[in-house]
Structure 1
Amino acid sequence: MSQLRITEIFLSLQGEGRCAGYPTVFVRLTGCPLRCHYCDTPYAFSGGEKYTLEEILQQVAGYDVEHVCVTGGEPLVQPECHSLLRALCDAGFRVSLETSGALDIGSVDERVARVMDLKTPGSGEMQRNRMSNIDFLRADDQVKFVITDRADYEWSCEQLKRFRITDRCEVLFSPAQDRMNPTQLADWMIEDRVQARLQLQLHKLLWGDLPGR
């Protein structure tokens, strides 16, 4: 019987990306091979409890909302994540996946909207970027850059041009909390006419760093 190790399942508002503001069930898988300097979910690195696919689906359905986000940690570090994504799609949910981009996204169910980080130098994990994942991106996907400083910003702009990412999907520039002034980032983006969307984390504006929100 398929099982996954889960840190938490909870209902909140989606705070990021295209579906920001929608009531969303978050399924947070345990485990991550990365240790980004700005990580806001280190409690998902270990622990958690084992759930069967049936138990996860039953709990998600109990919230009675359309949107489901599978996140982590790094969800794809658990091979059964693919089975979970398929099962959620089969059940009729609108499913998104938040992934670091360090693992292969090519076999993710095509019905899933993938939100993939490209790790900036300030993350401390830039070397873990799997740049071949860019070839798998579709119009429904999004690429996110978490910006900590000017060097991160310039590196991110360089990747947009080098890989023509905006021709493939939507791009998000997100200021790292307590490290990058959002207004400064907005000014840079306006000055340079960056073809990306500034993203502020709605859930943090509403509830701060409360776990499970």
Structure 2
Amino acid sequence: MSSLRITEIFYSLQGESNTVGLPTVFIRLTGCPLRCVYCDTEYAFSGGKKIPIDDILAQVEAYDTPYVTVTGGEPLAQPGCLDLMTRLLDKGYTVSLETSGALDISKVDPRVVKVMDLKTPSSGELDRNLYQNLQFLDRKDQIKFVIGNEEDYAWSKAALNEYQLPERCQILFSPVMGRQDPTDLAEKILADRLPVRFQIQLHKLLWADARGK
């Protein structure tokens, strides 16, 4: 029976993306090949518990909500993640995938809503961006820029034009909590009239850094 190593499965409000605020089941897979300096889920780098996909589906069903987010760590580091998402979709769930953008997304079920990072300079993982992934994004998908300083903002703004990102998919600009003043970032977006969605991590405002929220 196919299994995945899972750090946690929990029910909360979606804190990011274009479904922010909606009750959602989160499946956090264990493991990540990246080490972003601002990472807030280092506890998911190792450990976890191997759970059969059938049991994961049963846990999700118990929460009785149509929205499921598969996250990490980096969920695509476990090949069985692809099967999990397809099985969730076949059961009628709206499934989103939070991925770093460093691993190939070409085999992800096209019904999945992909929320993919493009790593900014201050992440420390700029060289891990896999730009070939851009061709597999469409209008339902989202690219997230996590912005920690002025250099990140300038780099992100240039990337919008270089890769014609607003024509491909939805764009999210998110401040690094404690590093980038959110008001300052919002004012820059307005001044430059950028075609992006500004977001703050709702779950951190509500529950600080509590796990399982």
Partner amino acid, structure 2, of 1:6: I
1:105 aligns with 2:102: no
Deviations 1:63-109 (A, max 9, x none): 01110000000000000000000010011111000000000111100
The TM-score normalised by the length of structure 1 is 0.99
Q: Which residue of 2 aligns with 1:52?
A: 52
Distance between the aligned counterparts of 1:9 and 1:68, measured in 2? Answer: 10
Runs of 4+ in 1 over 4 A off after TM superposition: none
Partner amino acid, structure 1, of 2:169: C
Deviations 1:33-87 (A, max 9, x none): 0000000000000000001110000000000111000000000000000000001
Partner amino acid, structure 2, of 1:5: R
Q: Which residue of 1 aligns with 2:131?
A: 131
Partner amino acid, structure 1, of 2:15: G
Q: What is the CA-CA distance between 1:149 and the residue it aligns to?
A: 0.2
Q: What is the CA-CA distance between 1:132 and the residue it aligns to?
A: 0.7
Q: Which residue of 2 aligns with 1:11?
A: 11
Distance between the aligned counterparts of 1:61 and 1:51, measured in 2? Answer: 15
| Contiguous gaps of at least 5 residues in structure 1 | none
Q: Which residue of 2 aligns with 1:169?
A: 169
Residue identity over aligned pairs, in percent, reads 59
Distance between the aligned counterparts of 1:117 and 1:199, measured in 2? Answer: 14
Q: What is the CA-CA distance between 1:165 and the residue it aligns to?
A: 0.5
Partner amino acid, structure 1, of 2:6: I
Q: Residues 2-151 of structure 1: matches in 2 within 5 Å?
A: 2-151=2-151
1:173 counterpart SS class: strand
Distance between the aligned counterparts of 1:109 and 1:164, measured in 2? Answer: 24
Distance between the aligned counterparts of 1:192 and 1:126, measured in 2? Answer: 24
Q: What is the CA-CA distance between 1:191 and the residue it aligns to?
A: 1.0
Distance between the aligned counterparts of 2:52 and 2:92, measured in 1? Answer: 19
Q: Which residue of 2 aligns with 1:158?
A: 158
Distance between the aligned counterparts of 1:53 and 1:89, measured in 2? Answer: 13
Q: What is the CA-CA distance between 1:195 and the residue it aligns to?
A: 1.0
Q: Which residue of 2 aligns with 1:205?
A: 205
The TM-score normalised by the length of structure 2 is 0.99
Q: What is the CA-CA distance between 1:148 and the residue it aligns to?
A: 0.2
Deviations 1:138-185 (A, max 9, x none): 111000000000000000001000000000111000000100000000
Alignment length, in residue pairs?
213
Partner amino acid, structure 2, of 1:166: P
Q: What is the CA-CA distance between 1:187 and the residue it aligns to?
A: 1.0
| Contiguous gaps of at least 5 residues in structure 2 | none
Distance between the aligned counterparts of 1:157 and 1:107, measured in 2? Answer: 29
2:63 counterpart SS class: coil
Distance between the aligned counterparts of 2:50 and 2:109, measured in 1? Answer: 23
